[in-house]
Structure 1
Amino acid sequence: MDSSGPDNLDNYGDPGGPDRIDDLGGLDRRIADCRACPRLVAWREEVARTKRAAFNDWTYWGRPVPGYGPPDARLLIVGLAPAAHGGNRTGRMFTGDRSGDVLYQALYDIGLTSQPTSVSAGDGLELYGVRVTSPVHCAPPANKPTPAERDTCRPWLVRELTLLRPTVRAAVVLGAFGWQAALPAFAEAGWTVPRPRPAFAHGTRVSLGGLDLFGCYHVSQQNTFTGRLTPDMLREVLRAAADAAGLPGRK
């Protein structure tokens, strides 16, 4: 793992800032070079050095994790942040952890992925009309980014939304933190967010004018192990969002 960062770039990994990037591939590469939040940089790299015993033979990614999915996605899924031994290990959103197991199984069940599992960046997983991202791209200590870290990372999400705007028609936001981070980003990217801003709730649906925004409990172990979020509940929200996005899928 290279922890030195690129030369001659600002903390966002781009001399001109995220708003100067004109394609998702370029955005993903710049995100992976970001070093804007010292606490997150230190934590993600410490986790990559020390590892978890079960993954001792892995070379951890240990960098910001960019979004994953086609550049013409019609449906966007917005999470929270990469898991220390999931995305921070594998380099792909919701890959290599229990939360990803639940999410990708549900997407497979409704016909939006090529396979039900996501274990590594080279496992052949394809997403059909769906892109997965998060408002914070580095694994945070205790899975809790600070509001300042969320706000520092927002320009990446705003630019991603802007680049997806020609095709994206629906978005599912997982959890209240993601909801609070996503609403101002959607507004900055040009959609109309109602005022007062709608509160997060599981199953809520809000029209932003050309895009339908859905709330869903996060696919965390805390929610899925306790039954707060069941597979049926998750599939129900994802199917509604896929319908709103005009994706065929499976009923």
Structure 2
Amino acid sequence: MEPRQPHADDTARTDPQHPGHPAAAAAACTTLAALDERVTHCRACPRLVAWREEAARTKRRAFLADDYWARPIPGFGPADAPLVLLGLAPAAHGANRTGRIFTGDPSGDLLYAALHELGLASQPRATWRDDGMVLHGVRITDPVRCCPPENRPTPEERDTCGPWIAREFDHLRPTVRTVVALGGFAWQAALPVLAAHWRIPRPRPVFGHGARVTLSAADGGAPLELLGCYHVSPRNTYTGRLTPAMLRDLLAAAAESAGLR
């Protein structure tokens, strides 16, 4: 990888009061649409910025003709969604290429096919950010918005990125009723974020496929159902740890919990 050149926005990564730092930038977004647009300009994590841009320069042979997005990925789905699916981070040659979460890779192929089968997505396959895909009552998002090397963001990167997902849930709070954490990373990242509006039991609930916990409201609003699901990564799906039937059944239960079925 070539040495990363300094960028004018790099000072934002250490000062939460800096307008470019996720903490200040997210807090300033008064609508979800504004948040989705603002996050695409974030450069707070040097390692992730370098990695996402390197992936866009080198590309995979199958995608040499593609113009990579190579920016942070916003959430996708309606602002009044009662069901939220929470992943890990974009894939270097998936969402980092196509510009939309879980789009253009095997994980997304499985996820959108299941959502379409349940009537929650307008088409079974997601290929590009402007392919016409529409989600019905579902929003998909990640706690880390840039693709990390080996799909492993550091704790510091997770925490730096945290204000984006926290602010997203501030805007989703009036309508969200169910959250599905796709994998243990998403589960652990979700708990401190959800604690802003819901009470987290002690000891903290443990992740597992099919794990389910009801969180009572801490702010006078509605309670929340948190469900765990194995991540839709090839590592899980190609080995049979997560089958299409398992995913569909869990998403069906989540949709019912959210009032979508």
Q: Which category of TM-score, normalised to the shorter sequence, fits these structures?
A: over 0.9
In the alignment, is the contact (CA less than 8 A) between 1:75 and 1:131 conserved in 2?
yes
Distance across 2 between alignment mates of 1:211 and 1:142: 32
Work out whether 1:82 is the aligned partner of 2:95: no
In 2, the alpha carbon distance for the partners of 1:6 and 1:121 equals 26
Alignment-derived partner of residue 174 in structure 1: 182
Q: Does 1:231 align with 2:240?
A: no
TM-score (normalised: structure 2): 0.90
Are residues 1:214 and 2:227 paired? yes
Q: Are 1:51 and 2:51 counterparts?
A: no
Amino acid at match of 1:163: H
Q: 1:51, CA displacement in angstroms?
A: 0.9
The CA RMSD over aligned residues, in Å, is: 1.7
Q: Which runs of 5+ in 2 are unaligned?
A: 1-5, 13-17, 217-222
On the 8 A contact 1:5/1:33 being kept in 2, the answer is no
Identity %: 59
TM-score computed with the length of structure 1 as normaliser = 0.93
SS at match of 1:17: helix
AA partner of residue 41 (structure 1): V
Contact 1:44 1:139 in 2 (8 A): yes
Contact residue 75 and residue 140 of structure 2 kept, 8 A: yes
Q: For 1:241, which of 224, 231, 254 is the aligned residue?
A: 254
Contact 1:74 1:167 in 2 (8 A): yes
Q: Give structure 1 stretches of 5+ with no counterpart.
A: none
Q: How does 1:1-251 map to 2 (within 5 A)?
A: 10-12=19-21, 16-188=24-196, 190-209=197-216, 210-248=223-261
Residues 118-164 of structure 1, C-alpha deviations (whole Å, 9 max, x = no match):
00011100000000000100000011111111111111111001100
Q: Deviations over 1:35-65 (max 9, x none)?
A: 1111000100111111111101011000000
Secondary structure at the aligned position of 1:179 is classed as helix
Q: Secondary structure at the match of 1:182?
A: helix
Pairwise CA distance, 1:20: 2.3
Count of matched residue pairs: 244
8 Å contact kept, 1:170–1:211: yes
Q: CA deviation at 1:10?
A: 3.7
CA deviation map 1:167-217 (0-9, x unaligned): 0100100000111111111113x1111111101010011111211000000
